[in-house]
Structures are given as C-alpha cells and as structure tokens.
A and B are shown apart, each in its own frame.
Chain A
C-alpha cells in the first residue's frame, strides 16, 4: 500500500500525457489540412527571429504596461516549471524535495520560485482588473462575447489557484519543518510563504501533513489539467508562439505573394506563339488549382492555420486596424478566431466521419467571415505589424478577396468599374492611355 500514491501519480501523469498527445496529433492533422507553403528557408534568420520575438518577447513590450506584466508571467511560468520537474521526480519515486541536497542552491531556487509566484499572483490580478473593470476597448469587442471572455478569465483564475496552492504547499512544508516533523527535512528558503506559515500554527501534525499533501496533489493535478486545457483555449499560444514566429513571413510586408498558377495562364494569354489547343504537358493538369483564393480553411496554407491556433486574442491587431477604429465590421482578430473555429469544426467533422471530411454545407466565407469585413480592409499592414507572434491576418483577407473576385466575380461594383478601366485603358479611371503624358504640356 505504501506505493499507492506513486501508482496514482504515474497513472495521472500517463493519462494526462496520453490525452495531451492525442490533442497534439489532432492539432497537427488540422494544421496539415492547409495548402503547402515553403517556410523552411533561411533557417538562421528564422531562428534569430524566434529567439528575439518569441523567447525575447521583443514585440510584447511595444505596449509597455501590458508588455511588462506579460513578461513577468512569462518568466514566472518558465522558471517555476523547474519546480515542476522536482515535483514529477518526487511523485514518481515517492521522495520529498529530491533537490534539497543542493543546499544553498536549493534555497536560492525555492526562494526565487516563491518571489516569482507572488509576482505572478499580483500580475494576474492586475490582468483581471484590466480585462474586466477598466473598459479597455480591445477587451470589449463583440468577438470576445461568450466563450472567449470566459476562456481568458478561466486562465487567470487557474493561475491564481496554482500559485496559491504552490505557496500553501510551501507554507505547510515550512511549518512542518519548524515543528521538526521527521518526514520534512529543513530545506529551502521561503521569502513569501513564511508569512503564510504562522496561519497554520497550532494545527496538529496530521492536519498539517494533510494540508501539505493536499496542496501538493492539487497543484500538480491542476498543472496536468491546465496542460490539457490548452488545446481548447487561446492559451495554446504558450506553445505555438515559438513555431509561429519561426515560420512567419520574412518578406517585406508590402510584398504580397505571387499566384504562380495565374502566371502560367497569363503567359499563355500574352504569348502570340502559344497554341491554345495544344495538349497539356504531362502532369500539367495537376498544377492547375481547383480554385483561386480561399473560401474555406482547406484553401489557406498551413502557416495561416497554425497562426489561427496560435492567436491568443490579445486584440493588438484590431486596436491598430483603421477600419475597426472607424467602426467598420472588420476585426483582424476575428478573422483569426473565425479561421480557428471553422478549422476546429472541420476537424470534428473529420473525426466523426472516420477520417473523411463530409460536406457540411458550410464554409469560412459567409458562415464565419462576412464579405463586408473583407472589403473594409485597406491592406495597410497595421495588424501584421502589431502582432507580437508573427500572425498575418491580412494574408487571409487577401486570399478570400481573391476567391471573391476570381471565382465569384463578386467585387463591389465600383471596384469592378475601376478594374474594367485598368483593363481597357490602363488606369483605374476612365482616361485614355494616349493622354498619359498630357500633364507635361498643361
């Protein structure tokens, strides 16, 4: 029976890892529903960008308050995870504070964790106040109603619970050390929980042990639960921000991608020697895409889909968007959220139909993203510039416009006029090309 806690721990850990890997597999499959795009070039540049932007949080601090608070939670999260390593080892082998042999080093570690835990706790409370009580516009948008708002708060509540459990565990441990309980060797420094420990004075040994064990178990089970909450949450960014920045666009923001399939056709049209009735070359049929642009998630590329899962709904893109600032329906954040929600729907459809997608009569266009949103974009790249993790909502807007224009001929009529002019007289206005140099003699 003495091995029961260890058996339970390993079982819980195995179940959590199994559940998590399953979801990661689903995530990968869904992302791979996207079209191919080469983002494996310039590996060194990509690595540097990832170190700077994701690991170094360089774009977070462009908003100093939110950025600094975020860095505190981020550093706290990464460093406190060293403690999780000790907890894992203790849990599996039935030890207690296995790293305590480090002596002074251990005191330094535990002391740092406590201070970080306290800072995280304070920061999370500030974040909660910002999100719920300060009327910050980007947290009030219509796309955050319902689950997204609850999700954001859930994460904050979770972090509070985890930090409180961590500090309670330490405080009970410290109290047990003070009263000289044999199972609790004196180890560690407790700069924060030393103020909590006095609350436990006068508790019986067994009650203290129960409290310490209870907090220890609740803390680690909470972490395992939180790990598996990620897939259902915007909080997935803590993992995906790294690959997303790594694979992000390295070109100038003004350079929109060239549609090679169109290039071939245009070359044919402009080539006076081309034989329109010629047999297509071997394999050429495969090159012609089924459609131009994107009306659903499978038409987007895998990086755009990865970005949809990476987006943490911070809304920096939307708050910089000129269309959104002037009350238009367009919100770049909503473009990313819609893409993710539709991709999840497609994924569930595939799960329910033995690995085959069955047409559900829905698509990203119209059912999620309205045409009015797409046409409000000025392609100014403010959203792209604002994203701290390299997401490019504009590329999705452009792909969907291409679908609207090239597949449905559904541009707004004034745009059709302008495009007609370009086609007929080489300018968006109805002026004769022969008059193009008249200004020189005006």
Chain B
C-alpha cells in the first residue's frame, strides 16, 4: 500500500509516439463516486502489478451516454457517443477495458453503429484473460473458504451473456460460492439501471435494491460480490438498510482480488 498508482494518459502516450495495449475506460462513477473510485484504484493496482501496458483518457473521457439513451434521450446519447468516438478513433484505440458494465455494454454494442468499433472487455473478462495467460495469479488469501454470493449486473449478464468470468475469478479465490434465488439469466436487477440511479423510484411497496438485498441476505454471505459500481452502491445501501453492515461486505470482484494479494 501507499505506493503511488501509475496512471498514464493517452495524451502522454501520444506525445511519446506510443500506443498502449489497452485503454482503461474509467467511467463517470469510477472517476467521481467515492465508493467506485476504490474499485478503479484496485483495478489499477492489479494492472500496475501485472505490468499491463494501459492508459486512460483522463479529462478527455466523457460519459458514454448510457443513462441518456436509456432515459430516452437519443440526441444526447449520440452527441456523447460521437464525441467519445472521435477522441478514441483519433488515438486509434482498438482494445478497451472498463470496470462498469453500463459503459461496457454501450461501448461494445452501441458505438459500432456510430463508427466506434473496439474490442471491449469487462474488467472481470480482462482479469480472466490475464489469468489464463498466466500473467495474473489469484489465490484465496483472506477470502479462502468464505461464503460469497455474486450479484449479476444486468448489463454484463443478461445483456451480454457473461455469467462465468466473475464466478471463475471468485472460484480462484477459493471461496464458497453460493447463488441467490435469482441468479445468472434470471438475476434480479439492483434497481439502478435504465437511468433509475439518477431519479427517485416510482411509488411501490419497497425499493428494488432492498428486494435484491433480501435475496442476498437470505443466503447468509460474508461478502456480496459485485461487478458494477452502481450495483455496488445499491447493494451497499441495501445491506445498511437491513442492518447488516457489520456482517456483510459489498465488494467488487477486483477489490477482492487486490485485497487477497494485499495490494
């Protein structure tokens, strides 16, 4: 700990006439939200530790436009998308990794129609590939034998059919992986998607995140593992609401890997 993170920007690479292997798309939550920033840093620690040749856009990054599109504002979405695509194409980016499934989905599925074609990976997929290449070592450490449940982010799971990468990483941590009542393709939303994060919920019996947290609490985990900064916020709030803050931690898969390595 304490070692300064190495976070080069695309602009720096450009001035040196170089191109990184991969662009790390940080996203708005990862850049500004205090909780999500920890996920960003955990991921960078691993990238630094493994020696991945990456860069970020820094101040040249803009919201992908996901919440605008899902709120119905196609104009604003496409403005954002084209601005980002212009920047990324200027840097000739071909590979992107992001810690946010919403950015992941938008970059991967919705940018191609607007001229942005990149190989886009969610950070759990990226870590899995590092693992397969033997560059990353994941061992149990402090999570060995602990009871963990994974909350599928809608935009990683159902939206893009990726259910196994995060679970494979958790298995490598030698945890006791337990599934909630609704999981994988039937996973229950945390309540944040579709721009709900930025508005109050409609009238109902309860909040979606409480509903989901109840499912999590029911399997008595020590950690609720997440793969999305918004899910993380929702589940953290849910755990607090259930009065389980002391008993259940909500952590991103990448934080668990970094913690296990004492990074």
Q: List residues of A whose CB falls within 8 A of some B CB.
A: 251-256, 258-259, 262-263, 265-267, 269-270, 292-293, 320, 322-323, 325-330, 372, 375-382, 384-386, 398, 400-406, 411-412, 414-415, 417-419, 422-423, 426-429, 431, 433-440, 442
In the complex, chain B residues 137-157 whose Cβ is within 8 Å of any chain A Cβ: 154-155
Q: Is B74 an interface residue (CB 8 A)?
A: yes
- What are 22 A-B residue pairs whose CB atoms fall within 8 Å in the complex? A251-B109, A254-B159, A256-B69, A259-B74, A263-B113, A265-B75, A266-B75, A322-B211, A322-B212, A327-B204, A376-B202, A378-B191, A378-B192, A380-B158, A380-B189, A412-B199, A415-B195, A418-B199, A419-B73, A437-B31, A439-B30, A439-B40
- By a CB distance below 8 angstroms, the chain A residues around B158 are 253-254, 380-382, 384-385
* CB-nearest residue of chain A to B83: A270
B131 contacts chain A at the CB level, 8 A cutoff? no
Q: Which residues from B are CB-within-8-Å of A381?
A: 154, 158-159
- Nearest A residue (CB) for B30: A439
- List 4 tightest A-B contacts by C-beta distance, closest first: A254-B159, A401-B72, A327-B205, A379-B194
Which residue of A255, A292, A320, A414 is within 8 Å of B186 (Cβ)? A320
Chain B residue with Cβ nearest A411: B71
Binds A, one of B13-21, B53-61, B164-172: B53-61
Whether A405 lies near B40 (C-beta < 8 A) is no
Chain A residues near B186 (CB-CB < 8 A): 320, 382, 385-386
A405 to B129 alpha-carbon distance, docked (Å): 41
Q: Which residue of A lies closest to B205 (CB)?
A: A327
Closest-CB distance, B251 to chain A (whole angstroms): 18
- B28 interface contact, C-beta 8 A: yes
What does the 1/0 interface line of B29-48 toward A look like (CB < 8 Å)?
A: 01111000100110010000
Pair A415/B71 contact, Cβ less than 8 Å: yes
Interface contact A254-B105, CB-CB below 8 Å? yes
Residue B161, interface by CB 8 Å: yes
On whether the beta carbons of B211 and A439 are closer than 8 Å, the reply is no
Q: By the criterion CB–CB under 8 Å, are A258 and B9 in contact?
A: no
Q: Count B-side interface residues using an 8 Å CB cutoff.
A: 74
Contact A398 B202 (CB under 8 A): no
CB distance from A150 to the nearest CB of B (A): 28
> Which of the residues B59, B73, B155 comes within 8 Å of A436, measured between beta carbons?
B59
Residue of B whose beta carbon sits closest to that of A330: B202
Asked whether A375 lies within 8 Å of B199 as measured between CB atoms, the reply is yes
A422:B67 contact, CB within 8 angstroms: yes
Q: How far is the CB of B82 from chain A (nearest CB, A)?
A: 6
A438 and B5 CA atoms in complex are apart in Å by: 12
B207 at the interface (CB under 8 A from A): yes
Interface secondary structure of A, over-half rule: helix
CB-CB < 8 A to B44: which residues of A? 440
Decide if B110 is an interface residue (CB 8 Å cutoff). yes
Given contacts A402-B72, A426-B63, contact A439 B41 (CB under 8 A): yes
Given known A-B contacts A323-B204, A381-B159, A415 and B74 have beta carbons under 8 A apart: no
* Additional A-B contact list (13), CB under 8 Å, known A270-B86, A439-B41: A255-B110, A258-B114, A327-B205, A329-B202, A378-B196, A379-B70, A400-B72, A418-B195, A419-B76, A436-B26, A439-B31, A439-B32, A442-B37
Give chain B residues whose Cβ lies under 8 Å from the Cβ of A378: 154, 189, 191-194, 196, 208
* Nearest B residue to A265, CB-CB: B75
**CB atoms of A263 and B78 under 8 A apart:** yes
Query: Within 8 Å CB of B200, what residues of A?
Result: 412, 414
- Check A382/B188 contact, CB under 8 A, given A270-B83, A422-B63, A440-B7: yes
> Beyond A252-B160, A381-B158, is A405–B73 a contact (Cβ under 8 Å)?
yes
Residue of A nearest to B199 (CB): A414
Asked if A258 contacts B188 (CB within 8 A), the reply is no
Pick the most buried of A384, A400, A434, A442: most chain B CB atoms within 10 A of its CB: A442
| With known contacts A258-B110, A411-B71, A415-B71, A431–B32 Cβ distance under 8 A | yes
Contact A419:B68 (CB < 8 A) given known A252-B160, A412-B199: yes
Contact A254 B65 (CB under 8 A): no
Nearest CB of chain B from residue A335's CB, rounded to whole Å = 14
Whether A398 and B72, one on each chain, are in contact in the complex, defined by CB atoms closer than 8 angstroms, is yes
Chain A contacts for B9, CB-based, 8 A: 437
B62 CB within 8 Å of chain A:
yes
CB-CB under 8 A from B74, the residues of chain A are: 259, 262, 292, 402, 406
Q: In the complex, which residues of chain A have a beta carbon less than 8 angstroms from the beta carbon of B67?
A: 418-419, 422, 428
Which residues of B have CB within 8 Å of A375?
Answer: 199, 202
Whether the pair B63, A328 counts as a contact (CB closer than 8 A) is no
Q: A265-B75, A292-B74, A422-B68 are in contact. Are A433 and B204 (CB under 8 A)?
A: no
Please determine whether B198 and A418 come into contact, CB atoms closer than 8 angstroms. Answer: yes
B71 partner, pick from A254, A258, A384, A401, beta carbons under 8 A? A401
Q: Say yes or no: B72 contacts A326, CB within 8 Å.
A: no
Residues from chain A with a CB closer than 8 A to the CB of B58 are 436-437
Tell me whether A429 and B75 are in contact (CB under 8 A): no
Complex: how many Å from CA A315 to CA B109?
A: 29
What residues of chain B lie closer than 8 Å to A429, measured between beta carbons? 28, 32-33
Within 8 A of A (CB), among B173-231: 185-189, 191-208, 210-212
